[in-house]
Amino acid sequence: MILLKKLGILALVTCLLFPASSVYGHGFGIDTISSVDVQGKRLSISVEMPMYFENDQDQITITATEDESKENAKNVTFLIGLFHNNEMIFRNYFFAEDGILPITVTPTQGDEIIIHGEQDSLLGAWHATESTPIEITGSLFNSGGLYNFEIEIRTIDEPTNIIENSTVYNADLSLIETVSFVQKDTENNDVEFRSKSYFDSVSNFKYDPEAKQVTFEMPFDWSEKQMSHVSVVHVETHFPKDFTEFLTPSYSGNVNGIELFNSSVSIDDYSEDDERVIHLVMLQDHLRYLKNEMKKSEEPIPDNMSFTLSTSEDMVFPLEAYTKSEDFKVNLSWDPLEIEPGVDTNFIFTIRDGRTNEPLRSSDYTFVLLQNGEEIHRTSGTAQVGGEFEKYTFGEDETGPTIIKFENIRNTGQETEFGLVVVPEFGTIALLVLSISILSIIFATKRNSLGF
């Protein structure tokens, strides 16, 4: 029996040493229209803007680059239309001698959109001078969601080289939107949920206390033209960590009745001090899968995403958590899954490189258990091959919120933690996991495709 237990622990350690599934980041700020043909030249057009308009002034930058030379196109006149919620905000000509068009945006009160700068005599295109940059003022970018840029190239190489019957290209960028929704729990108490969308606006948010599930909707164009440059859709659901009726070891999600992959639903108890965050992340291949599944019903494909987020009792090992610097990641499992007083619990873990996901050999660590802000256990060790386990037996009086900390990882002073609630039930201790996976949020302004 002892041999079998040792073999079981060894098997878990071995599993933890193999790379876990990737955690996908989110964020955007740039969308690139790649390799379009303009009078025999292959161009790439990029649109860049902030994810938040929080300053008195911010900037949009549109750039046209020649694919072959990798240099900016010359004497480009853009015809740019900006749309939000199917309404046009402006549509005007803009000229960029060096192919780079910076536009200063100054949000103001009032409905009128005003463009400041100089205009040429050919197309009336707005252009900057040394003393006068192009500036747009008015009520714009004052709400989150998806913004669509319709772009045409009307001149290139020479300011008078007007292109007739130009093609319309589309770039989509999003402003992050966070909205609060007050819902009722099973005892009719108010609970504040927050929805943070990195794609488009969330609506019809509801929490069902009986079903223990959250539902909400978001506009989405399932056409191939639109989906071809949507690389990620990411939505977060936030709620208080002390809202115990919706705390669960794991969650399941679906969109328009189609179940999401496990990798699309992740728990984050690290980003916010007082809130649990559930990330729903769908990559382009996931979106195509959802569309193909919807086609099987032979019903018309809707013009939105209808989300359902439900509690699940399925435990998914390993759990994972990053250090704040993201230099290190720790995978954690335990054995046995059901913890009983007086029974040894083996906490099996692997210390990994936060960027390559490779196990780190000869990793020093300090393993700490805390309850009510006080240590109940502390020990130090070295994970010789990156994976190791620590043994602890919970006592009858050691119940309630419990923190598992890994301190001073590889003697760097860096640490990470997992949160648990240890609850006595019929003589056993049931563990309600407060941290299944800790996401490393990497804003993908480095990406060359926005899509969200």
Look at residue 411 and tell me if it is in a domain.
yes
Choose the final residue of a domain: 128, 158, 175.
175
Beta strands in 54-127 (DSSP E): 58-66, 76-84, 87-96, 100-107, 114-116, 118-119, 126-127
Among 277, 298, 316, the domain boundary falls at 316
Residue 16 belongs to a domain: no
- Report yes or no on 154 lying in a domain: yes
> Is 385 part of a structural domain of the chain?
yes
**pLDDT at position 315, please?**
67
Strands 118-119 and 275-283 turn out to be: unpaired
Number of H helices, E strands in the chain: 3, 31
pLDDT band at 424 (very low <50, low <70, confident <90, very high): low
**3 inside domain:** no
Segment of 4-13, 48-57, 238-247 carrying the highest mean pLDDT = 238-247
How far CA 2 is from CA of 213, 344, 349, in Å, comes to 42, 12, 20
Strand duo 118-119 + 114-116: pairing: unpaired
Same-domain status, 60 and 154: yes
Residues 167 and 208 in one domain: no
Does residue 444 surpass a pLDDT of 80? no
Please compute the mean of the pLDDT values over residues 187-210 and round it to a whole number.
Answer: 96
CA 261 to chain centre: 15
What is residue 409's predicted lDDT score, i.e. its pLDDT? 97
Could you tell me if 100 and 139 lie in one domain? Answer: yes
Q: In the structure, what pLDDT confidence band is assigned to residue 82 with cuts at 50, 70 and 90?
A: very high
* Domains in the chain, number: 3
Residue 246: predicted pLDDT: 92
- Worst-scoring range by mean pLDDT, 40-44, 85-89, 324-328, 442-446? 442-446
Interacting residues of 279 by C-beta distance below 8 A, sequence separation 6+: 26, 234, 235, 236, 265, 266, 267, 268, 439
User: Do 281 and 334 share a domain, yes or no?
Assistant: no
Position 22 in a domain: no
Comparing CA positions, the residue from 271, 255, 284 lying closest to residue 435 is 271
| Residues 292 and 306 placed together within one structural domain of the fold | yes
Is the model's pLDDT at 228 over the cut of 70?
yes
Collapse the DSSP code of 310 into the 3-class scheme (helix H, G, I; strand E, B; otherwise coil) and give the result: strand
Give the CATH number, domain containing residue 59. Answer: 2.60.40.1940
Judgement on whether residues 135 and 196 belong to the same structural domain of the protein = no
- Tell me: do 187 and 292 sit in the same domain: yes
Domain boundary among 150, 175, 200: 175
CATH number at residue 402: 2.60.40.1930
Mean pLDDT for 329-347 is: 83
Q: Are residues 149 and 183 in the same domain?
A: no
Q: What is the pLDDT of residue 284?
A: 87
Range with the poorest average pLDDT among 13-27, 266-280, 343-357, 423-437: 13-27
Higher-confidence residue: 344 or 239? 239
Pair 193, 107 in one domain: no
Q: State which residues form the domain around 148.
A: 30-175
Nearest CA among 10, 12, 23 for reference residue 332: 12
Same-domain status, 249 and 288: yes
Domain assignment of residue 384, yes or no: yes
Same structural domain, 37 and 171: yes
What's the whole-number mean pLDDT along residues 92-104? 97
Residue pair 239/275 in contact by the 8 Å Cβ criterion: yes
- Tell me the C-alpha distance between 79 and 152, whole Å: 5
Confidence (pLDDT) at 242: 84
In a domain, 445, yes or no: no
Q: Which is more confident, 130 or 348? A: 348
Same structural domain, 268 and 196 = yes
